[in-house]
Amino acid sequence: GAVVSQHPSWVICKSGTSVKIECRSLDFQATTMFWYRQFPKQSLMLMATSNEGSKATYEQGVEKDKFLINHASLTLSTLTVTSAHPEDSSFYICSARDSGLAGGWGTQYFGPGTRLLVL
Amino acid sequence: AQSVTQPDIHITVSEGASLELRCNYSYGATPYLFWYVQSPGQGLQLLLKYFSGDTLVQGIKGFEAEFKRSQSSFNLRKPSVHWSDAAEYFCAVGGGTSYGKLTFGQGTILTVHP
Protein backbone atom coordinates (compact mmCIF):
# COMPACT_ATOMS: atom_id res chain seq x y z
CA GLY A 1 0.00 0.00 0.00
CA ALA A 2 0.88 3.66 -0.15
CA VAL A 3 3.35 5.05 2.36
CA VAL A 4 3.28 8.27 4.30
CA SER A 5 6.34 9.34 6.24
CA GLN A 6 6.78 11.86 8.99
CA HIS A 7 9.94 13.58 10.14
CA PRO A 8 11.09 13.77 12.82
CA SER A 9 9.61 10.86 14.72
CA TRP A 10 10.67 12.36 18.03
CA VAL A 11 11.48 15.93 19.01
CA ILE A 12 12.28 17.58 22.30
CA CYS A 13 12.45 21.35 22.44
CA LYS A 14 12.57 24.20 24.89
CA SER A 15 9.54 26.28 25.66
CA GLY A 16 9.25 29.25 23.32
CA THR A 17 10.92 27.64 20.34
CA SER A 18 9.26 26.58 17.09
CA VAL A 19 9.17 23.07 15.75
CA LYS A 20 8.51 21.95 12.19
CA ILE A 21 7.08 18.53 11.36
CA GLU A 22 7.11 17.18 7.82
CA CYS A 23 4.60 14.83 6.27
CA ARG A 24 5.39 13.22 2.93
CA SER A 25 3.45 10.92 0.65
CA LEU A 26 6.15 8.72 -0.80
CA ASP A 27 4.53 7.00 -3.74
CA PHE A 28 1.41 8.97 -4.56
CA GLN A 29 0.28 12.53 -4.90
CA ALA A 30 -1.95 13.94 -2.23
CA THR A 31 -3.89 17.10 -2.89
CA THR A 32 -5.27 16.85 0.62
CA MET A 33 -3.48 16.02 3.83
CA PHE A 34 -4.79 16.06 7.37
CA TRP A 35 -3.15 16.81 10.68
CA TYR A 36 -4.32 15.10 13.85
CA ARG A 37 -3.32 15.36 17.46
CA GLN A 38 -3.48 12.44 19.86
CA PHE A 39 -3.25 12.76 23.62
CA PRO A 40 -2.24 9.77 25.75
CA LYS A 41 -5.00 7.21 25.99
CA GLN A 42 -7.26 9.37 23.86
CA SER A 43 -8.46 9.42 20.33
CA LEU A 44 -7.15 11.30 17.35
CA MET A 45 -8.50 14.80 17.03
CA LEU A 46 -8.51 16.46 13.64
CA MET A 47 -6.65 19.75 13.77
CA ALA A 48 -6.73 20.92 10.19
CA THR A 49 -7.12 20.01 6.56
CA SER A 50 -4.21 20.92 4.35
CA ASN A 51 -4.89 21.53 0.66
CA GLU A 52 -2.10 21.84 -1.86
CA GLY A 53 -1.70 25.38 -3.07
CA SER A 54 -4.26 26.92 -0.74
CA LYS A 55 -4.73 27.85 2.87
CA ALA A 56 -5.38 25.16 5.42
CA THR A 57 -8.78 24.78 7.00
CA TYR A 58 -8.63 24.60 10.78
CA GLU A 59 -11.07 22.86 13.06
CA GLN A 60 -12.88 24.84 15.70
CA GLY A 61 -10.68 25.61 18.67
CA VAL A 62 -7.37 25.14 16.86
CA GLU A 63 -5.21 28.27 16.79
CA LYS A 64 -4.12 28.80 13.23
CA ASP A 65 -1.39 31.24 14.24
CA LYS A 66 0.09 28.68 16.57
CA PHE A 67 -0.12 25.69 14.26
CA LEU A 68 1.08 26.86 10.87
CA ILE A 69 0.39 24.49 8.01
CA ASN A 70 1.96 24.68 4.59
CA HIS A 71 1.17 22.32 1.72
CA ALA A 72 3.63 23.50 -0.89
CA SER A 73 3.64 20.43 -3.11
CA LEU A 74 1.55 17.38 -3.87
CA THR A 75 3.77 15.23 -1.69
CA LEU A 76 4.67 17.46 1.25
CA SER A 77 2.80 19.19 4.03
CA THR A 78 4.44 20.79 7.05
CA LEU A 79 3.10 21.63 10.47
CA THR A 80 4.99 24.24 12.46
CA VAL A 81 4.23 24.58 16.13
CA THR A 82 5.20 28.16 16.90
CA SER A 83 6.36 29.31 20.32
CA ALA A 84 5.78 25.87 21.71
CA HIS A 85 4.77 25.42 25.34
CA PRO A 86 4.54 22.31 27.50
CA GLU A 87 0.81 22.00 26.84
CA ASP A 88 1.62 21.52 23.15
CA SER A 89 3.38 18.27 24.01
CA SER A 90 1.50 15.56 22.18
CA PHE A 91 1.60 12.99 19.41
CA TYR A 92 1.00 14.59 16.01
CA ILE A 93 -0.16 12.40 13.16
CA CYS A 94 -0.61 13.30 9.52
CA SER A 95 -2.53 11.52 6.84
CA ALA A 96 -2.64 11.87 3.09
CA ARG A 97 -5.66 11.23 0.93
CA ASP A 98 -5.15 9.30 -2.25
CA SER A 99 -8.22 10.48 -4.11
CA GLY A 100 -9.82 7.46 -5.67
CA LEU A 101 -13.03 6.52 -7.34
CA ALA A 102 -15.12 5.85 -4.23
CA GLY A 103 -17.32 8.90 -4.50
CA GLY A 104 -14.26 11.10 -4.27
CA TRP A 105 -13.38 9.79 -0.84
CA GLY A 106 -10.37 7.78 -1.88
CA THR A 107 -8.21 6.15 0.74
CA GLN A 108 -6.49 7.88 3.60
CA TYR A 109 -2.99 6.76 4.58
CA PHE A 110 -1.50 7.67 7.92
CA GLY A 111 2.02 8.54 8.88
CA PRO A 112 3.72 6.95 11.91
CA GLY A 113 3.37 10.10 13.98
CA THR A 114 5.72 12.60 15.63
CA ARG A 115 6.02 12.78 19.37
CA LEU A 116 6.68 16.32 20.59
CA LEU A 117 7.89 17.06 24.10
CA VAL A 118 8.21 20.69 25.12
CA LEU A 119 10.27 21.33 28.23
CA ALA B 1 -22.26 16.82 15.15
CA GLN B 2 -20.83 13.44 14.34
CA SER B 3 -19.36 11.22 17.04
CA VAL B 4 -18.05 7.73 17.59
CA THR B 5 -18.18 5.71 20.78
CA GLN B 6 -16.09 2.65 21.48
CA PRO B 7 -17.45 1.43 24.81
CA ASP B 8 -14.56 -0.88 25.62
CA ILE B 9 -11.27 0.81 26.47
CA HIS B 10 -9.38 -2.44 26.95
CA ILE B 11 -10.20 -6.02 25.94
CA THR B 12 -8.22 -9.13 26.74
CA VAL B 13 -8.73 -12.38 24.86
CA SER B 14 -6.89 -15.67 24.59
CA GLU B 15 -5.15 -16.57 21.39
CA GLY B 16 -7.53 -18.53 19.18
CA ALA B 17 -10.64 -17.05 20.78
CA SER B 18 -13.15 -14.99 18.86
CA LEU B 19 -13.19 -11.22 19.08
CA GLU B 20 -15.78 -8.49 18.79
CA LEU B 21 -14.95 -4.82 19.20
CA ARG B 22 -17.90 -2.51 19.54
CA CYS B 23 -18.44 0.78 17.75
CA ASN B 24 -21.45 3.08 17.83
CA TYR B 25 -21.69 6.22 15.77
CA SER B 26 -23.79 9.30 15.46
CA TYR B 27 -24.03 10.90 12.04
CA GLY B 28 -26.71 12.98 10.41
CA ALA B 29 -26.54 11.40 6.98
CA THR B 30 -25.35 8.18 5.42
CA PRO B 31 -22.12 7.39 7.20
CA TYR B 32 -18.87 6.15 5.80
CA LEU B 33 -17.38 3.88 8.44
CA PHE B 34 -13.85 2.69 8.99
CA TRP B 35 -11.80 0.52 11.29
CA TYR B 36 -8.10 1.25 11.75
CA VAL B 37 -5.42 -0.55 13.74
CA GLN B 38 -2.51 1.26 15.37
CA SER B 39 0.64 -0.54 16.42
CA PRO B 40 3.46 1.17 18.32
CA GLY B 41 5.79 3.02 15.99
CA GLN B 42 3.55 2.51 13.00
CA GLY B 43 0.90 4.57 11.33
CA LEU B 44 -2.75 3.70 11.47
CA GLN B 45 -3.54 0.93 9.04
CA LEU B 46 -6.94 0.60 7.43
CA LEU B 47 -8.58 -2.75 8.21
CA LEU B 48 -11.81 -2.21 6.34
CA LYS B 49 -14.36 0.39 5.33
CA TYR B 50 -18.04 0.62 4.57
CA PHE B 51 -19.47 3.07 2.08
CA SER B 52 -22.57 1.34 0.79
CA GLY B 53 -23.89 -2.00 -0.38
CA ASP B 54 -23.44 -5.25 1.50
CA THR B 55 -23.58 -4.49 5.20
CA LEU B 56 -21.07 -7.23 6.04
CA VAL B 57 -17.64 -5.99 5.07
CA GLN B 58 -14.54 -8.13 4.78
CA GLY B 59 -11.19 -6.62 5.55
CA ILE B 60 -7.56 -7.55 5.81
CA LYS B 61 -6.03 -9.92 8.34
CA GLY B 62 -9.26 -11.92 8.64
CA PHE B 63 -11.33 -9.10 10.10
CA GLU B 64 -14.91 -8.32 9.21
CA ALA B 65 -17.42 -5.74 10.34
CA GLU B 66 -21.18 -5.44 10.08
CA PHE B 67 -23.03 -2.18 9.55
CA LYS B 68 -26.34 -2.08 11.38
CA ARG B 69 -28.15 1.14 10.64
CA SER B 70 -30.97 0.47 13.12
CA GLN B 71 -28.43 0.17 15.93
CA SER B 72 -26.00 2.82 14.63
CA SER B 73 -23.28 0.25 15.04
CA PHE B 74 -20.30 -1.01 13.09
CA ASN B 75 -18.76 -3.78 15.20
CA LEU B 76 -15.49 -5.41 14.24
CA ARG B 77 -15.12 -9.19 14.47
CA LYS B 78 -12.53 -11.86 14.02
CA PRO B 79 -13.26 -15.57 14.50
CA SER B 80 -9.83 -16.54 15.82
CA VAL B 81 -7.40 -14.02 17.27
CA HIS B 82 -3.64 -14.29 16.77
CA TRP B 83 -1.02 -12.88 19.15
CA SER B 84 0.01 -10.44 16.42
CA ASP B 85 -3.44 -8.84 16.57
CA ALA B 86 -2.54 -7.16 19.86
CA ALA B 87 -2.76 -3.43 19.12
CA GLU B 88 -5.10 -0.48 19.47
CA TYR B 89 -8.17 -0.35 17.26
CA PHE B 90 -10.01 2.76 16.20
CA CYS B 91 -13.43 3.11 14.65
CA ALA B 92 -14.03 6.24 12.58
CA VAL B 93 -16.89 7.91 10.75
CA GLY B 94 -17.02 10.36 7.90
CA GLY B 95 -19.21 11.07 4.95
CA GLY B 96 -20.88 13.45 2.58
CA THR B 97 -18.67 15.93 0.85
CA SER B 98 -16.21 16.31 3.72
CA TYR B 99 -13.78 14.19 1.81
CA GLY B 100 -11.38 12.47 4.11
CA LYS B 101 -12.43 14.21 7.32
CA LEU B 102 -12.75 11.55 9.95
CA THR B 103 -14.06 11.51 13.49
CA PHE B 104 -12.43 8.81 15.57
CA GLY B 105 -13.61 6.86 18.57
CA GLN B 106 -11.54 6.65 21.73
CA GLY B 107 -9.89 3.42 20.71
CA THR B 108 -9.88 -0.10 22.15
CA ILE B 109 -6.66 -1.68 23.28
CA LEU B 110 -6.56 -5.40 22.54
CA THR B 111 -4.35 -7.67 24.61
CA VAL B 112 -3.92 -11.27 23.50
CA HIS B 113 -2.92 -13.95 26.02
CA PRO B 114 -1.03 -16.99 24.75
> By mean pLDDT, which of A52-56, A94-98, A101-105 is the weakest?
A101-105
Backbone CA torsion sign across A16, A11, B89, A24: positive
The chain-wide mean pLDDT, for chain A, equals: 90
The CA-CA-CA angle for residues A40, A88, B27, to 5°, reads: 60
Q: Is B59 on the interface with A (CB under 8 A)?
A: no
Query: Is the predicted pLDDT of residue B6 greater than 90, yes or no?
Result: yes
Sequence-ordered list of residues with C-beta below 8 angstroms from that of B56, at least 6 positions apart, any chain = B64, B65, B66, B67
pLDDT at A102 over 70: no
Is residue A101's pLDDT more than 60? no
Candidates B72, B39, B43; CA nearest to A3 is B43
Which range among A46-50, B24-28, B89-93, B100-104 shows the weakest confidence by mean pLDDT?
B100-104
- Residue range A15-41: mean pLDDT, rounded: 92
User: pLDDT band at A48, cuts 50/70/90?
Assistant: very high
The pLDDT assigned to A100 comes to: 58
Interface test with A, best of B101, B106, B108, B109 (most A CBs within 10 A): B101
Q: Is the Cβ pair A104, B94 closer than 8 Å?
A: no
pLDDT level of residue A72 (50, 70, 90 thresholds): confident
User: Of B45, B101, B103, which is closest to A49 when you measure between CB atoms?
Assistant: B101
